Amino acid sequence: MASQYPILNIEAAPGDPPRAVEQLNGDLLVPAAARTLIAQALLLAEDALPDGRTEELARLAHVRCLLGVVRIDTARQTLLANLGKIRPV
């Protein structure tokens, strides 16, 4: 039988700063407003690490995977946006 844990709500009064709340089972509830900041911080931290820090890069990639943060290849997106599609001959 699976263990059941109560789910707590995050309720903020107007003017309160966004705050994360840890659930009784250890899960962390993060306000939606903080998600973009966390994603940006992860990507910036990954970019700032030197090439020799493979263990730290692997950990950051794992955290990105857990949080569903996708790194977008902007060079490839730019290339694809500038390509024209033609019909086959």
Q: Which residues neighbour 20 within 8 Å (Cβ) at sequence distance 6 or greater?
A: 28, 29, 30, 31, 34
Answer for the pair 7, 27: CB distance below 8 angstroms, yes or no.
no
Q: What is the pLDDT of residues 45-73, one digit of tens each?
A: 988 888 888 899 899 889 888 888 888 87
Element housing 57 (H / E): helix 54-67
Q: Where are the domains positioned within the chain?
A: 27-81
Q: What is the pLDDT of residues 12-46, one digit of tens each?
A: 678 877 777 777 777 777 887 788 888 899 889 98
Angle of helix 54-67 versus helix 32-48 axis, rounded to 10: 160
